[in-house]
Structure 1
C-alpha cells in the first residue's frame, strides 16, 4: 500500500467512529462486541497505536505487544465480569492513548520487560470498559467480538507502520501521528 493511501486510510478510520463512541449496548452479541472498539475513538486510537508501536520494534516483540494487549484485555473483561472494580478506568484508557502516542512520537523502543507490562496494564482498563458496556448476553460471544476487532485494529496499525518508508519525511510524519494521538489522549484526560 502506498504511504499516502495508508495515512488517508488511518485518517478516515480515526474520524469514522466518533459519533458512536460508548453507546450503551442493549444486548451483548458478537457484533456489539466487535463494534465497541471501533465506535469509541479512545479505544480505536489506543489499539491502532499498539500496532503502530509494535511495527517499529524488533523480533518477537512485534507480535508479543499486540497479543499481550488482547490477552490482558480479556483478563480485564473477566475481572469486570467477576465484579472486581478497577480504579479510574476512563483515565486509564485516556492515559493509554497519551502514552502510546508519546512512544510513537519519540520513536521509543522500550525493552520488552517494560513495554509488555505497560501495554498489558493499559489493556486491563480497555477490557474492563468493554465489559462495563456489555449489557445482557453472552460474555463469551461479546468478548470474542471485541478481541477480534482489537486484533484487526492492531494489525491495521502494524501494516501501516510497516509500510511507512524509512525516508526522513515519512519518519517525521509518523512522529506527527504519534503527537496527534498523544494530544487526543491529553484531551481525553482533561475531559
Structure 2
C-alpha cells in the first residue's frame, strides 16, 4: 500500500528532472539552477515549512501523501512568477513564519483535515514561499533554470518530510504519532521564534 501511494509522488519528482537537466546546458542556466536549488535549503524558515508539509501529508495519509506536496509546488510556482514579475506581496516574511507555526501545529495536534482543506491551506502558504523565491532571484540567473531549481529543492524537502513520517511509523507504531507530534511542536515553536525575530 505504501508503494502505491509513493508512485505518484515519485512520478512528479521525475517529471521535474528534465527541467533540472536542461538547467545545466549553459553556464548562466547552471548558475540559475544552483541559485534556485540553494534558496529553499539555505534558510531555516523554508526548510522547516517544507519538511512540515511532507510530515503533514504523511499524517493525513491516502492521496494527501502526494496531493498536498504537489499542490504546494504548483502554487509556489505561481507565487514565484509573481515575485519575479515584481508584484508586491504583502506580509511575505510573516506568511512564511506563520506557515511554520500552522503546519507544525497541525502535525503536533494530529489534525485530520479533509484533503481539500489541507491543499487549500498549503496553497495559501505556498504563495508566500514562492513569492520570496521569485523576488530574490539573482539578476544574472536564468528564470526558468532558477525556477526549476527551487521547485526541485522544495519537492525534495517535501519528500524528506514524508520519508521521515514513514520512518517514524516503521520504527514504532505505538510511539510514532507521539514522535511526529513532538517534531511538529518543535517546528511550530521555531516558527514563533522566527515570527518574533528571536532566530
- The answer to which of 120-129 and 49-58 deviates more is 49-58
Q: For 1:9-158, what aligned pairs fall within 5 Å after superposition?
A: 29-136=32-139, 137-158=141-162
Pair 1:172 & 2:178 matched: yes
**Any stretches of 5+ residues in structure 2 without a counterpart?**
1-29
Q: 1:111 to 1:101 in 2, by over 3 A?
A: same
TM-score between both structures, scaled by the size of structure 2: 0.79
Contact 1:28 1:139 in 2 (8 A): no
Contact 1:28 1:134 in 2 (8 A): no
Partner of 1:188: 194
RMSD: 1.4
**Any stretches of 5+ residues in structure 1 without a counterpart?**
1-26
Contact 1:51 1:153 in 2 (8 A): yes
Deviation at 1:82, TM superposition (A): 2.2
Larger Rg: 2
Q: Equivalents in 2 of 1:28, 1:80: separation in Å?
A: 19
Contact 2:101 2:189 in 1 (8 A): yes
Contact 1:34 1:147 in 2 (8 A): yes
Deviation at 1:28, TM superposition (A): 5.7
Give the length in aligned residue pairs.
Answer: 165
Pair 1:159 & 2:159 matched: no
